[in-house]
Structure 1
Amino acid sequence: MQRRLFNTAATLALACTATLGATAARAQADYPNQPVTIIVPFAPGGTTDVVGRALATSLTKQLKQSVIVENKPGAGGTLGVVDMQRAKPDGYRLTMVPVGVFRQPYVQKTQYDPIRDLTYIASFTAYDFILAVAADSPFKTVKDVVEYAKTHKEGVDYGTPGKFTGNQVAMALLGKAAGVPFTHVPYKGDSEAITALLGGHVKTMVSTNGILNFMETGKVRALAIAADKRPPAFANVPTFKEAGYDVVVPSPLGLAGPRGLPLPIVQKLDAAVKAALDDPEMQRVIKTYGIRTDYRDHQAYSEFARRNFEAEKTIVQSLNLND
């Protein structure tokens, strides 16, 4: 009797397992069958937000399902990653990943591990960091900024879209190279920092590509860009290295989901991201903001994440980002 009961229970368990497996397989095959949310970890109006919304529009076409954006600014662009710890690994809640997520665990206690807690899907663009001033500023070159900081007690302050961002790293690297301190003033996004610059609340700022429109309308002047060479959209802006300072800060932007995201869903999203880069609207936004395409598939992006997480440790150890 006991043997028959055991055999019956085992048979039922195997049947349940098979049913659950078949259900999961169908869910992955049918993905997506409801709206997908992408978290943009910065405030509306900045470069990351603009790119995120263009990507969501293009993915809507690729996936034949609505893709919506949810802004979660703060914590240096890492709140999307924190959110992934609570998200189900079903592909319906994703986040954009700025490189700051690999840096923050080295500068303060975080709720996440960027390797353990994320499934990397693809990177798609890269933006740059530009030191800019208002059009009426007396600063014409990076050297002007450095010399002022050396000779004036109040020094030079600069706005960024948040603490521990690549924007802050660029200025911290300049301070180290020039041997002068700068005062960091973090905001919730590029748009807030630009507003502060134009309002005279900060002397300088380090922006991403969203500054391009303000340059073209003559409201701001770009002094230097933290790239290894001048991007086409910023052909008239010298690199920091051309100005005599070794400041290069690469910044690819990617898409990730929670840990355990099934491979079929990852592959479907990866293919959709790659296709989205050829979408005319996505191309228009890339051109308008001077952003560079920087695609890596899910395998290459996962490997980049591992390498960059290790590299950030060295960068943080050489800089004091808590100032």
Structure 2
Amino acid sequence: MTSSARRRLLAGATLAVAALGLPVMAQMTSYPNQPIKLVVPYPAGGATDTLARTIAQKIQEHWNNPVIVENKPGAGGTIGNNFVAKAPADGHTVLLAITALIQQPPLMSLTYDPLKDFQPVTRIAISPSVFAVQPNSPANTLKDFVALVKANPGKYSYGSYGAGTSSHIQGELLNTQGGLDMTHVPFQGAAPLVVNMKGGQLPVAFIDSATVRPHLASFKILAVTGTKRMPALPDVPTFAEQGFHSYEPLGWFGLLMPASVPKPVLDKFATEVARVLQLPDVRARIEGLGLFVGGETPEEFAKVMRSDAEIYARIIKQANIKLN
């Protein structure tokens, strides 16, 4: 082959490679080129909806492009989740999911796979849970509580904010690891759970940090989930510090896109969300809800999702948790 022929072949190959990248580059450059739907799979008015509208407003202002929050509630969030999983893979449909997304596969039949049909963007907010007992409880530590329940078989129940939720899974995990026989009492949400705890109808409950924050003085908190103590409760040890495992996962509110969205498009959106999460007023809004600000990279959030899914699936199987 002559040198001129080699040059022509090389030039042709270079042009071919460049041409292959043009559609993705063009898509990334023009994105967004239509309104973005930010789907909330729960009713308007809750924490998920509030976070979605906070993020949507800031992105819309910066990009000068409509970001519309669409509430698609029903079936424990699965209707909205499925809508986004099956949406066009152009980056204009985004899901704001909660931890239930990766807790549900062992509990119910789904039309999508949370780990295969979505691409993580980032967690925008994080929520530990607390293990609360009545202020007059004789238990001052988790070890005290376990001994108390064992000494009174059949007399203790624990409240959760719903069957199949984090608080239900955490309660059954304590039953399993502590050898306890507490009866599960589910409520339709965390607010009525707190009302019943404050009214003395329940002896103990697992409550998310956002809901319990205004009521911390009403309860005795014996443990918190996660790997670190909560700043609001610096003297309360984690479950791990007290010899209990698999309480590391934290509740989260996370953004996800359909699995086939081009990586450059997803990264452009993730970079914008990371900018928004650094805004002082946004951080203040999230922290004002009793939550911690997120902000991981897509790769870091993907790792969290996989790890959490494995832990929850193992607990659900070992504790034989079922949805009635």
Give, in whole Å, the separation in 1 of the partners of 2:281 and 2:25.
34
Determine if contact 1:159/1:197 at 8 Å carries over to the other structure: no
Could you tell me how far 1:49 is from its partner in structure 2? 4.5
Q: Secondary structure at the match of 2:302?
A: helix
For structure 1, list consecutive stretches of 5 or more residues without a partner in the other structure. Answer: 1-17
What is the letter of the counterpart of residue 164 of structure 1?
G
Return closer, same or farther for 1:40/1:278 CA change in 2, 3 Å cut-off.
farther
**Residues 184-225 of structure 1: CA deviation (Å, up to 9, x unaligned):** 333443334323433445433222221343235x34443320
- Are 2:40 and 2:49, in contact at CA under 8 Å, matched by a contact in 1? no
- 1:256-306 Cα shifts (integer Å, max 9, x gaps): 122322334312210111111111122113433453334322233334444
**Paired-residue identity, %:** 26
Given that 1:44 and 1:189 are in contact with CA atoms closer than 8 Å, whether structure 2 keeps it comes out as: no
Q: Could you tell me which residue of structure 2 aligns to residue 96 of structure 1?
A: 96
Aligned to 1:257: 257
Q: Where in structure 2 are the equivalents of 1:69-218 lying within 5 Å?
A: 69-72=69-72, 75=75, 77-133=77-133, 141-143=141-143, 145-150=145-150, 151-160=152-161, 162-215=162-215, 218=217
Supply the AA of the counterpart residue of 2:177. Answer: A
Relative distance call for 1:49 and 1:168 in structure 2 (3 A) is farther
**1:54 matched residue in structure 2:** 54
Q: Deviations over 1:153-193 (max 9, x none)?
A: 34213122x33332222222211121013333334433343
Q: 1:152 to 1:316 in 2, by over 3 A?
A: closer
Is the deviation greater in 110-119 or in 29-38?
A: 29-38
1:212-231 matches, cutoff 5 A: 212-215=212-215, 218-231=217-230
CA RMSD of aligned residues (A): 3.5
- Cα distance change, pair 288–79 in 1 and its aligned pair in 2 (3 A): same
CA contact (8 A) 1:134 1:204 kept: yes
Number of equivalences: 301
Aligned residue number for residue 292 of structure 1: 292
Deviation at 1:139, TM superposition (A): 6.0
TM-score by length of 2: 0.76
TM-score (norm 1): 0.76
> Which residue of the partner structure matches residue 3 of structure 1?
none
